[in-house]
């Protein structure tokens, strides 16, 4: 009998349930702690622990197969061109959006839905980040749309049946959306998005994990559509969703995420598929006593801003320690205090090994890269960085539809470097090549006007709120730009990993910023 046929001699029988299901992979078996693994198997055999798949269903997010067509950007009122003749009252019924080709169109509001896309959308265990991206989700037939007078949705569907969306070099991602092989056979219509429907409260978590092990509980009335690279968990019993959510966000849940994940993306990022998440053990919600359940939920509520920052930095606070101890008591560990210490030690070791592996091969990866003449292709490198990165934050996205008490008129065409006047005689002025082209009431207002002109140089006027509302918009926009620059610099470092000349790196960065209207 071969070694693979006698796996029962190597591990606990609970790891192999028979049939085609293997709850433990070799990587997990090799990394498992000699004390924790048998204890977890014992608690599972006794019924104190259950697998996540026993409590509900995990499924992937919706896959559009044509993001440039189905994922669009909703424009704020201030960003809608006057030629479209849209009033603020119209925006209660319709949405003006821009698709991946830059085409502006009007569509009924009932046919666009907010989306959650990627780990960055999950800002904490209880909150998500909203942006202007929308999913075109039409469930009616074209005959019904025509009968009901939904002309905007009908016109956009006809565009999807006649316009080629070639925004990628991949041949499978080009052509007319309605004729693509993975779209045209959808039922009941080619534009039917599979997996967009949600029932009740769901827990959303990412496929790829770097520094945050985050599981976000969404509200029952949240209409957001979860897009691919995120998973959803729908509990069989909606009353147990909060307890399952707390257990997944505990140290015990994080340890299993790190243990069961696959660090194979080359950048130190952890990858988990649905079977990996299905095998995570949690206290059985149907068997946990009410006292333990209440203790876990009460302790979790005391953890400040859970899931919002690096998970390893979050460990160690008194609130987090009390919460993790309450979860381990609900699991049935005989010595929760010792288990907390052991779990944290193992989690840090596993995460450290994953990050260290990334750094250990960095030099080898650079040495294998083909040498290129970067000096002769600054524009090409900058264009590649700009094409693969999110647009620079537009301050108009942070304005409400009815905001705009002050109208700043632009009297000249901006060119060259655009500056903000800070002296006594030009305070609040927007200056291009030494000429004042706009005059705002304050420096914060002028800062927003300058940002709009960088993005839209042909703008003839900019409407802004005043007073505290202006301060709020300016604060939100500055926070968004700080996050954007952090992500942008990381993208530049990744794209220029083989370039050592600081002057060339700086030239590429500046050119990329100009291409993205950020400088």
Kindly report the three-state secondary structure assignment for every residue of 459-500.
CCEEEECCHHHHHHHHHHHHHHHHHHHHHHHHHHHHHCCCCC
Mean pLDDT, to the nearest integer, of 213-227? Answer: 92
Q: How far apart are CA 109 and CA 227, in angstroms?
A: 19
Over residues 215-220, mean pLDDT: 93
pLDDT, one tens digit per residue, over 166-176 is: 887 776 678 89
Of the pLDDT bands very low, low, confident and very high (cuts 50, 70, 90), residue 13 is: very low
Burial class (CB within 10 angstroms; exposed 0-12, middle 13-18, buried 19+) of 110: middle
Residue 140 pLDDT grade (very low, low, confident, very high; cuts 50, 70, 90): very high
| In contact, 204 and 215? CB cutoff 8 Å | yes
pLDDT of residue 144: 96
Return the domain boundaries, the chain.
67-179, 203-360, 386-515
This prediction's pTM: 0.67
Q: How many other CB atoms are found less than 10 A from the CB of residue 416?
A: 9
Q: Point out the least confidently predicted range of 103-117, 343-357, 373-387.
A: 373-387
pLDDT tens readout for residues 401-443: 665 577 788 887 777 778 888 777 778 888 887 788 888 878 8
Q: Please tell me which residue, 169 or 291, carries the higher pLDDT value.
A: 291
HEC profile of 287-341: CCCHHHHHHHHHHHHHCCCCCCCCHHHHCCCHHHHHHHHHHHHHHCCCCHHHHHH
Give per-residue pLDDT as tens, 33-82: 888 999 999 999 999 999 999 999 999 999 999 999 999 999 999 999 99
């Amino acid at each position: 009998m071969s070694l693979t046929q006698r796996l029962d001699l190597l591990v606990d029988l609970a790891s192999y349930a028979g049939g085609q299901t293997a709850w433990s992979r070799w990587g997990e078996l090799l990394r498992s702690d000699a004390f924790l693994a048998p204890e977890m198997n014992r608690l599972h055999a006794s019924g104190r622990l259950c697998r996540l798949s026993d409590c509900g269903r995990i499924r992937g997010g919706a896959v559009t197969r044509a993001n440039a067509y189905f994922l669009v950007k909703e424009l704020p009122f201030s960003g809608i061109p006057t030629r479209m003749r849209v009033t603020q009252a119209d925006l209660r019924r319709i949405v003006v959006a821009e698709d991946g080709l830059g085409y502006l169109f009007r569509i009924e509001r009932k046919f666009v839905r907010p989306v959650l896309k990627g780990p960055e959308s999950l800002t904490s265990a209880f909150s998500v980040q909203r942006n202007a991206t929308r999913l075109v989700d039409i469930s009616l037939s074209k005959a019904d749309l025509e009968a009901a007078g939904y002309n905007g949705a009908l016109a956009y569907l006809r565009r999807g049946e006649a316009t080629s969306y070639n925004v990628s070099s991949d041949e499978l991602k080009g052509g007319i959306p309605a004729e693509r092989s993975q779209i045209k056979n959808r039922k009941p219509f080619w534009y039917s998005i599979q997996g967009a429907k949600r029932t009740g409260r769901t827990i959303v978590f990412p496929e790829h994990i770097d520094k945050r092990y985050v599981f976000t509980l969404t509200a029952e009335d949240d209409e957001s559509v979860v897009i691919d690279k995120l998973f959803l968990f729908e509990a069989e019993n909606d009353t147990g969703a909060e307890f399952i959510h707390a257990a997944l966000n505990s140290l015990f849940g994080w340890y299993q995420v790190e243990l069961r994940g696959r660090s194979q993306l080359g950048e130190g990022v952890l990858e988990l598929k649905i079977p990996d998440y299905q095998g995570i053990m949690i206290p059985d919600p149907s068997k946990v006593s009410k006292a333990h359940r209440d203790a876990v939920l009460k302790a979790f509520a005391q953890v400040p801003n859970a899931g919002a920052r690096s998970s390893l930095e979050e460990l160690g606070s008194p609130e987090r320690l009390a919460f993790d101890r309450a979860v381990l008591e609900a699991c049935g560990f005989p010595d929760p205090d010792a288990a907390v210490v052991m779990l944290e030690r193992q989690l840090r070791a596993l995460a450290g090994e994953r990050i260290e592996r990334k750094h250990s091969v960095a030099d080898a990866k650079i040495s294998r890269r083909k040498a290129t003449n970067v000096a002769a292709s600054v524009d090409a490198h900058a264009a590649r960085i700009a094409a693969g990165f999110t647009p620079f934050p537009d301050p108009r996205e942070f304005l409400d539809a009815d905001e705009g008490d002050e109208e700043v008129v632009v009297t000249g065409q901006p060119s060259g470097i655009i500056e903000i006047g800070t002296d006594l005689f030009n305070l609040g002025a927007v200056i291009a090549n030494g000429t004042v082209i706009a005059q705002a009431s304050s420096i914060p207002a002028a800062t927003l006007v300058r940002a709009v002109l960088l993005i839209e140089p042909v703008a003839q006027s900019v409407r802004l709120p005043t007073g505290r509302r202006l301060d709020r918009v300016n604060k939100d926009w500055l926070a968004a730009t700080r996050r954007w620059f952090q992500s942008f610099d990381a993208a530049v470092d990744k794209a220029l990993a083989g370039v050592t000349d600081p002057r060339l790196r700086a030239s590429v960065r500046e050119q990329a910023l100009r291409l993205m209207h950020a400088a």
